[in-house]
Structure 1
Amino acid sequence: MDAYHDNAEFYFQDLINFWNLEGKSEIASTLWIGTAVMLLFAFGILFLVLFYQNYFIKMKRREAELLLKASLESEKQERVRIAADLHDGVSGDLNAIRNYLSILQRNEQDTEKKALFAEIKSGVEAALENTRQVSYKLMPPLLELAGFTAALQDYFERLTLNSKIQFEVNCTTDAPEIFQQTGYELLRIVQELTTNMIKHGAITHCHVAISSSNEEYRLEITDDGTPFDFKGQLAVATGSGLKNISSRLKVIGARMEQKEAPKGNHFTITLKK
């Protein structure tokens, strides 16, 4: 009987030990599984936060690009309107005044009055020419009629005539019409660069080469003036000229690089096909 009791006690003790081991194993497994689930949950939350943060940044960047594009398009339309008003309104009125002065000068017998009419007429003609120049700078008519290359050539001819600096364009691409959609912004970029060259670069010659490859179109702008660091100047710029160049490049999806040159400056503007 005692032997039976001892065996039963031993059996129950083994059973208790087994249950204790099983319980500990289950608790350890539960802890590992819970830890893994919590880690997955934490990584999931972190992924969602990073994903939405990145999405938010992209949306804000896209919104800024759309606002910039709308702003530049609004500027373009306003330039077109003002240029048309100057050409059709102010220039027409000045032409009428000039013609009326011509009639008065022709019919006047008094020498002093004729000289006065001639002086007034000369002032009106100067105002008329200035109005034409402002209208042209606001929106070159050849840009809409003949495209970017023709407008740039005409712009450079005027610059050469007025500044006595040699400006020239060389187009080697077979499809200059590709610039019709982005010609306005490209022309403004070139105008900003050439204005900076004339004011600060002390140049005597500027050349623009238009070419193309299988994947992109390229503008090579070189001058023999004072070298300057575009990115460095852009970072500290207080005016709007260099910033306008950067903004217009973003709008048309173009890229501008400044290359080392033995003399002067060398800029490359590339635009994907």
Structure 2
Amino acid sequence: MVTETQEGTSLILFIGMLGMFFLALAIVGFVIIYRRRLLKQQMKLQEQKIIHQQQLLQSAVKIQDDERKRFAADLHDEIGGGISTILLSVERIKKEQIDQPEIVSKSQNVRDQLNQLLNKVREISYNIMPPTLEDFGLNEAISDLCYSISESSKIHIDYEWNGDEKRLDFSQELALYRIIKETLVNAVKHSEAETIKITIENSTESFKLTIKDDGKGFNTETVQKGAGLRNIKDRALILGGLIDITSNVNSGTTIHVHLNKENV
């Protein structure tokens, strides 16, 4: 009788311990599942936050770009047109007073100054919103930009476009153009480079941009907060693209931008 009681007690203890084990296992499993779900929710919220930030940034930049476009048009048409009208008036006065050398000379001086001002207005308008980009696309706009910077500096720029020449969305082209322009301007100001190589690989699936110079380079750990790098990274973020900037002192700088078109 005692033996049966002991066996019953042992069985109860065994079943209890087994139940405790499965209960503990269930609790551990529940905690693991809960943590995984919590992690997924956190990741989802983080992704939504990034997407929301990107959308806000895109909206802000689009507003700025639209405003720049209007300003560039007004500058070119209104101010440039007004200067052109004054130039015609000065030229008419010059012809009417041809028998008065002093007036002719002063008119010529005014005409020369107005021409310089008109060229400056056109240059500013072009820099704000390059018409080549809107009319002919990114490839032609980059070609013009490289030629202009090469002519005004001692840096040789080697530019190569490979693959499809089908145009991207204008906002994407504008962001890429400004990334390239910002990079080239920074190189001219700071890199002391002799050569810059720009390569574009454009396919149906992706757009890859590589800009490499042979300049003095910099320490990426100490120059992360520079306005130029920040502008470049912000525009890459607007594109939804990946950007990688590598540089070492005395070893030049390389910038890679990768845009996955399938995710755009």
- TM-score (structure 2 length as normaliser): 0.81
Q: CA deviation at 1:230?
A: 7.1
Equivalent AA in structure 2 for residue 158 of structure 1:
S
| Partner of residue 40, structure 2 | 51
Is structure 2 residue 127 aligned with structure 1 residue 137? yes
| Partner of residue 78, structure 2 | 89
Inter-partner Cα distance in structure 1 for 2:53 and 2:41? 18
Matched position secondary structure for 2:217: coil
Q: Where does 1:197-236 land on structure 2 (aligned, <5 Å)?
A: 197-211=187-201, 216-224=206-214, 226-229=215-218, 231-232=220-221, 234-236=223-225
Unaligned runs of 5+ in 1: 1-10
Matched position secondary structure for 2:196: strand
Matched position secondary structure for 1:232: coil
- Alpha-carbon contact 1:91-1:131 (below 8 Å) kept: yes
Against the structure 1 CA distance between its residues 99 and 260, is the aligned structure 2 distance closer, same or farther, given a 3 Å change threshold?
Answer: same
Q: CA deviation at 1:81?
A: 1.4
Matched position secondary structure for 1:235: coil
Q: CA deviation at 1:91?
A: 0.8
Equivalent AA in structure 2 for residue 251 of structure 1:
I
Inter-partner Cα distance in structure 2 for 1:95 and 1:140? 21
Against the structure 1 CA distance between its residues 144 and 272, is the aligned structure 2 distance closer, same or farther, given a 3 Å change threshold?
Answer: same
Aligned partner (choices 139, 151, 174) of residue 161 of structure 1? 151
Aligned partner (choices 106, 110, 113) of residue 103 of structure 2? 113
Is structure 2 residue 183 aligned with structure 1 residue 193? yes
The ranges of structure 1 where at least 4 consecutive aligned residues each deviate by more than 6 angstroms after the TM superposition are: 259-263
Is structure 2 residue 230 aligned with structure 1 residue 243? yes
- Alpha-carbon contact 2:182-2:232 (below 8 Å) kept: yes
Bigger shift: residues 123-132 or 161-170? 161-170
Q: CA deviation at 1:97?
A: 1.3
- Alpha-carbon contact 1:249-1:256 (below 8 Å) kept: no
Aligned-residue CA RMSD in angstroms? 3.1
Which structure would you say has the larger Rg?
1
Per-residue deviation, residues 11-38 of structure 1 (Å, max 9, x unmatched): 4x45544443343334323322332333
Bigger shift: residues 200-209 or 256-265? 256-265
Against the structure 1 CA distance between its residues 32 and 157, is the aligned structure 2 distance closer, same or farther, given a 3 Å change threshold?
Answer: closer
Provide the aligned length of Structure 1 versus Structure 2: 258
Matched position secondary structure for 2:200: strand
Equivalent AA in structure 2 for residue 122 of structure 1:
D
| Partner of residue 66, structure 1 | 55
| Partner of residue 8, structure 1 | none
- Alpha-carbon contact 1:230-1:258 (below 8 Å) kept: no
